[in-house]
Amino acid sequence: MSEVVLTKDNFETEVISSDLPVLVDFWAVWCGPCRMVAPSVEKLAEKYAGKLKVGKLNVDEELELAHQYQISSIPTLGIFKGGKIVSHKIGALPLAALDAWVSEFI
């Protein structure tokens, strides 16, 4: 399963109403640490295909959603379960740390 590009138009369907836990990567094109963490997020999407949905939300293009979830630093990675954010991490963490964190919610 690949990453889903999240927008205000599909956020409800892809994240809030999802039966699977959802990892949302709040990022921006100009953000160096966001680019550093992107390959790890991709690997998590592949590893947990069918168990975890992974979405990317560009905070510059989706300001309303970024404000709604109080995203003030990027990259921010959030885990949504049952339509609510249940955990988040800020910054470019190594793959092993992200994997250990994500596995808690699967």
For the question of residue 53 being annotated catalytic, the response is: no
pLDDT of residue 1: 53
> Each residue of 19-46: pLDDT tens digit?
999 999 999 999 999 999 999 999 999 9
Average pLDDT score over the chain: 96
> Each residue of 71-90: pLDDT tens digit?
999 999 999 999 999 999 99
22 and 15 Cβ atoms separated by less than 8 Å: yes
For the question of residue 34 being annotated catalytic, the response is: yes
**67-76 contact pairs (CB < 8 A, 24+):** 69/26, 71/26, 74/26, 74/27, 74/28, 74/31, 74/33, 74/34, 75/25, 75/26, 75/27, 75/31, 75/33, 75/34, 75/37, 76/26
Give residues with Cβ within 8 angstroms of 79, minimum separation 6. Answer: 21, 22, 23, 24, 85, 86, 87, 88, 101, 102, 105
pLDDT of residue 2: 81
- Give the domain ranges of the chain: 4-103
Task: Kindly name the residue from 4, 6, 31, 98 that is annotated as catalytic.
Answer: 31
CATH architecture, range 4-103: 3-Layer(aba) Sandwich (3.40)
Task: Kindly name the residue from 6, 15, 22, 34 that is annotated as catalytic.
Answer: 34
